[in-house]
Amino acid sequence: MVDRAENNDVGEPVDLAGVRVWQGWLDRAAQQAMLADLRAVVAAAPLVQPVTPGGRKMSVRMTAAGRLGWITDRRGYRYADRHPSGVVWPPIPDSVLAVWRALGSDRRVPDCCLVNLYRGAARMGLHQDRDEGDFAWPVVSISLGDDALFRVGGTERGARTRSLWLRSGDVAVLGGAARLAYHGIDRIRPGSSDLLEGGGRINLTLRVVV
Ligand code: SIN
Ligand code: FE2
C-alpha cells in the first residue's frame, strides 16, 4: 500500500496549466513493488505495438489491466474487454489502485489502467483523453523509469503549452477543468533511470470509462 504517510518529502503538487503533478509521490521501494506487479500484468497481457486508425505504428508499446483496456487499430480508438490476443485483461494491481484512491477518487475504482512502454525515441503526440463516457472523473498518470518531457496545453488544440520533465515516481492528475487538456510526451531521456531492466519508461494511466 502506498499512501501519503509513507512518502516523506512529497509537498504540494506542481500546477502545470491545471494539471497537478505530485513529484516523488512514490519512493524507490514503492516504484519497485509496482514494477513487480506490472511484470505479472505484462505476462498475462503482453505488450503490443499498436497501430493508429490511419495505419501508423505508434512508437510506444501498450497493454492494459482492469475491466476494460484502451486499444487502437485500423478499426479505431476504443475500449475493449479483451486483449487483442483474446485473453481478458488482468486485474489492476493493488499498488496502482492505492495511488488512484489517494489522488483520484475513493468513491470508485477505475475501469482501465493503460500501460505504455517508452523506449529509445518513443513519444506520444499531443492529444486529449476523450474516449471515456464521463469526464467528471480524473485521469491519474503514474511515471516509472526514465525522465519524460511532458507537454500540457489547453482544452483546444493550438492553445499555449507548458512543459515539465516527469521523473520516476511522479503522479500527474488531469482533473476538473484540465480533464480534457491536450497533453503528450515529446521525448524521454534514455538512461536517466535504472528502474526498468533494459531501460525506458512505463506510464500508467488510470481512467473511469463508463
Ligand atoms: C498518455 O497520455 O497516454 C501518456 C502520458 C504519459 O506517458 O505520461
Ligand atoms: Fe493521454
Domain assignments of the chain as residue spans, ordered by start:
12-207
Cα of 141 vs centre of ligand 2, distance in Å, is 9
State how far the Cα of 62 lies from the Cα of 77, in Å rounded to an integer: 13
Q: Which atom of ligand 1 is nearest to the CA of 139?
A: 2
Q: Whose CA is nearest to atom 2 of ligand 1?
A: 184
Q: Is 141 in the pocket of ligand 1 (CB under 6 A)?
A: yes
Q: Is 101 in the pocket of ligand 1 (CB under 6 A)?
A: no
| Residue 54, C-beta contacts closer than 8 angstroms, at least 6 positions apart | none
Grid cell, residue 173, equals 492528475
- CB 165 within 8 Å of CB 185: no
Residues paired with 166 in a beta bridge = 148
* Cell numbers given for 110: 477505475
Residue 204: the pLDDT is 99
Measure CA 41 to chain center: 14
Q: Is 9 exposed, middle or buried (0-12, 13-18, 19+ CB in 10 A)?
A: exposed
pLDDT tens-digit readout, 96-148: 999 999 999 999 999 999 999 999 999 999 999 999 999 999 999 999 999 99
Q: Which residue has the cell 492528475?
A: 173
CA dist., res. 142 & res. 2, Å (int): 13
Fold exhibited by the domain 12-207: Jelly Rolls (2.60.120)
Task: Please measure the distance between the N-terminal and C-terminal CA atoms of the chain and give it in whole angstroms.
Answer: 26
Does ligand 1 lie within 6 Å of residue 183's CB atom?
yes
Can you give the three-state secondary structure of 67-94, one letter per residue?
CCEEEEECCEEEEECECCCCCECCCCCH
Nine-digit cell string for 71: 486499444
Nearest-atom index, ligand 1, CA of 201: 7
- Nearest residue (by CA) to ligand 1, atom 1, is 184
Q: Residue 9's pLDDT is what?
A: 57
* Average pLDDT across the chain, whole number: 95
| 77, 79, 112, 116, best to mutate for ligand 1 pocket (most atoms within 8 Å of CB) | 116
Which of helix, strand or coil describes residue 164?
A: strand
What is d(CA 144, CA 27) in angstroms, rounded to the nearest whole number?
Answer: 11
Ligand nearest the Cα of residue 203 is: 1
Q: Which residues contact 32 (CB under 8 A, 6 or more apart)?
A: 195
Residue type, 195: L
* pLDDT, one tens digit for every residue, the chain (210 residues): 334 444 445 789 999 999 999 999 999 999 999 999 999 999 999 999 999 999 999 999 999 999 999 999 999 999 999 999 999 999 999 999 999 999 999 999 999 999 999 999 999 999 999 999 999 999 999 999 999 999 999 999 999 999 999 999 999 999 999 999 999 999 999 999 999 999 999 999 999 999
Distance CA 79, CA 82 (A): 9
- Rounded CA separation 163/205 (Å): 18
Q: Which atom of ligand 1 has the smallest separation from the CA of 143?
A: 8
Does any ligand 1 atom lie closer than 6 A to the CB of residue 168? no
Q: Are 42 and 115 in contact (CB under 8 A)?
A: yes
